[in-house]
Amino acid sequence: EAGVAQSPRYKIIEKRQSVAFWCNPISGHATLYWYQQILGQGPKLLIQFQNNGVVDDSQLPKDRFSAERLKGVDSTLKIQPAKLEDSAVYLCASSSMTGGAGELFFGEGSRLTVL
């Protein structure tokens, strides 16, 4: 079974530029998550989708971050304009279950460096 695919793996941009990350979850997984992991910290949840609807985006900095999952399958996370503090690994995860017993499957992440 193919895992969660993310691209690009690495991206270097200058501040105020824009960047987009793509995630393809495991086939059939209705729930998709984006996490931000700053070096030395645990992952921080940015947004949770159920199919193509947003369940929780309370921690998403909406003035610069946006995410969509138009057809309920793959998803894109965009940052515009980027700031230095956005340097982090952006992790995508998916799950087949919606409740507390669901196992999350994570991708390898996209590492962003903002100069």
Partner 1 sequence: DAKTTQPNSMESNEEEPVHLPCNHSTISGTDYIHWYRQLPSQGPEYVIHGLTSNVNNRMASLAIAEDRKSSTLILHRATLRDAAVYYCILSGNTGKLIFGQGTTLQVKP
Interacting stretch for partner 1, rule CB under 8 A, among 16-24, 69-77, 78-86, 104-112?
A: 104-112
Q: Is 101 in the site for partner 1 (CB under 8 A)?
A: yes
44 lies in the binding site for partner 1 (CB under 8 A): yes
| Identity of the residue, 36 or 79, whose beta carbon is nearer to partner 1 in the bound complex | 36
Q: CB under 8 Å to 82, separation ≥6 — which residues?
A: 13, 14, 15, 16, 17, 18, 19, 64, 112, 114
> Which C-beta is closer to partner 1: that of 20 or that of 45?
45
Residue 84 touches partner 1, criterion: CB under 8 A: no
Q: Tokens 């990350």 label which residue? A: 21
Interatomic CA distance for residues 70 and 95, integer angstroms: 17
Q: Kindly tell me the number of DSSP H helices and DSSP E strands found in the chain.
A: 0, 11
Q: Which residues bind partner 1 (CB under 8 A)?
A: 4, 31, 33, 35, 41-45, 48, 55-56, 91, 93, 95, 97-109
